[in-house]
Amino acid sequence: MKDEAIHIILFLLFITVLPLPGLGYEQPVDIKPDTLTVHVLGTAEDSRFEPKSIRVKPGETVRFEVKEGMHTVTAYHPDNRRDLRIPKDAPSFDSGILTAGDTWYLNITYSGEYNYFCMPHERMGHVGKIISNNTNSNNTSTNYKN
Ligand SMILES: [Cu+2]
């Protein structure tokens, strides 16, 4: 119960801080042709990452474009109070609250599976996965759906 209250307070803090300029969560990166885009959609039970799973190579960047609602891109990592479900040497990540029109970048540096979730909608199944490996497949598409 106390835990729940802390979550709500943190959430309200995020919302309060959000409109201030200069506090955006975007990370400046070079836009490269190998930047892949994941659209973040929905406002409640319909919340989703599209595509839900993508395949990348280490060194590539994933761009999250929030189209509607209020979401986060958060690693399954002990730093975020979850079991580790990203490569063990990879740094944890958490976008903070993103709203419609926001873009957030994640640079993938290690091989392995990066599982991530959206804090407000995790329990509604708002989760995604990035599979990073160096193997050259014959498949020219870098995205696929689960
Ligand atoms: Cu969400």
Fold of 23-137: Immunoglobulin-like (2.60.40)
Residue 137 Cα to ligand 1 middle (Å): 31
Residue 74 Cα to ligand 1 middle (Å): 10
Residue 34 Cα to ligand 1 middle (Å): 25
Query: For the whole model, what pTM was predicted?
Result: 0.71
- 87 or 140, greater pLDDT: 87
Residue 7 Cα to ligand 1 middle (Å): 15
Residue 121 sits at the vertex; the CA angle it makes with 119 and 122, to the nearest 5 degrees, is 70
Which residue ranges make up each domain of the chain?
A: 23-137
Q: What is the pLDDT of residues 106-132, one digit of tens each?
A: 999 999 999 999 999 999 999 999 999
Residue 57 Cα to ligand 1 middle (Å): 25
State the DSSP string of 94-134: B---EETT-EEEEE--SSEEEEEE-TTTGGGT-EEEEEE--
Identity at 73, one-letter amino acid code:
V
- The band of 15, judged by pLDDT with boundaries at 50, 70 and 90, is low
Residue 136 Cα to ligand 1 middle (Å): 32
Residue 47 Cα to ligand 1 middle (Å): 5
CA gap 132, 142 in Å, rounded: 11
Instruction: Using DSSP bridges, classify how beta strands 53-56 and 127-132 pair: parallel, antiparallel or unpaired.
Output: parallel
User: Has residue 104 got a pLDDT over 50?
Assistant: yes
- The band of 49, judged by pLDDT with boundaries at 50, 70 and 90, is very high
**Whole-number pLDDT of residue 76:** 98
